[in-house]
Chains A and B, each alone.
Chain A
């Protein structure tokens, strides 16, 4: 083997140089053709994957937040709906009370008016009756007086009239 080596070493330098240069060229070519682009791509892929993981995390958080928001909104709207119904009820109650009260006052006013009218009517009627009675009595009196009227009778008559008027 060593004899082989010794002989080979006398031949060697050219081959060594050839292999060294060829190997360097090959390395350079591989770097150009495959090594750089593939490593770049692998790096890009690693970045993309880590980005994807991050964004997945983020969108999961967002989704959770949204769900919470929706839940809150739902609870809120329920509360709000109850509030609306309550206030509507209250308002209805108020309105009803108002209407009833209004109706009562109206009725009262009507009744009062009616009473007043009736009273007025009565007074009017009474006073007209009184006038009529006075006229009648005067007419009667004049008629009687025209017929025959002694003093006593007249007196008694007048008294009785006066008495009757006093009532």
Chain B
């Protein structure tokens, strides 16, 4: 999996789509929406169970944002951080318990185990950061930040943007992709030599699944944290 030859693609409106990404992405989107929808019924002054969980999550993601973005500017990015965290978290966990492959082609797996998906989100974060900078300081002041501390710093600044974009997307992709790869290898091992290998492989698979679940949570957290850091960098003028 992750190997381009192992996914089904189709063409639509002159664009190429990756079937696995579309299906698993849809599943993740629907799961996130259902999760939030189910928890947000009956919103009352005295919170019930579901509302408590949701409020805790909102506080959690707002806390991540407040850690880097100063003061009252977090308000505008709260919804982005909240949705991003939930989507990445569920995407990371999706492949751990649900992997569907038909005829050697993947159809459902973690959406985040494809770099295109993670790059989409890292691009979105960097665009939001640029947008926030321009909104706050105006075009001229915002882009003059690339010339600090001196004019010849420009290539380095641009390169930094590029590396931010790459590392933000590839970090989460690498962790999730390798996690699923290893899960698959252990799964293959389990079925390779009958009962004997299965006894060895099942505890191994359990442990690795638990670790991957942990890593998935951490990566979602890290992604949102770094997003807020990148946004914050554009909201502050370096002197």
Contact = CB atoms under 8 A, between A and B. Distances in A.
Contacts of B114: 8, 15
Contacts of A25: 29
A100 B33 CA distance: 104
A41 B44 contact: yes
Given A11-B16, A22-B29, A30 B83 contact: yes
Interface in B1-30: 2-4, 9, 12, 15-18, 21-22, 25-26, 29
B43 A37 contact: yes
Interface residues of A, number: 35
A18 B87 contact: no
Nearest to A26: B29
Interface string B159-182: 000000000000000000000000
Interface stretch (A42-50, A53-61, A126-134, A135-143): A42-50
Interface in A1-42: 4-5, 7-20, 22-23, 25-27, 29-31, 33-35, 37-39, 41-42
A18 B79 contact: no
Contacts of B18: 11, 14-15
A114 B113 CA distance: 139
A13 to B, nearest CB: 5
Given A15-B17, A48-B45, 4 more contacts: A4-B3, A15-B114, A39-B78, A41-B45
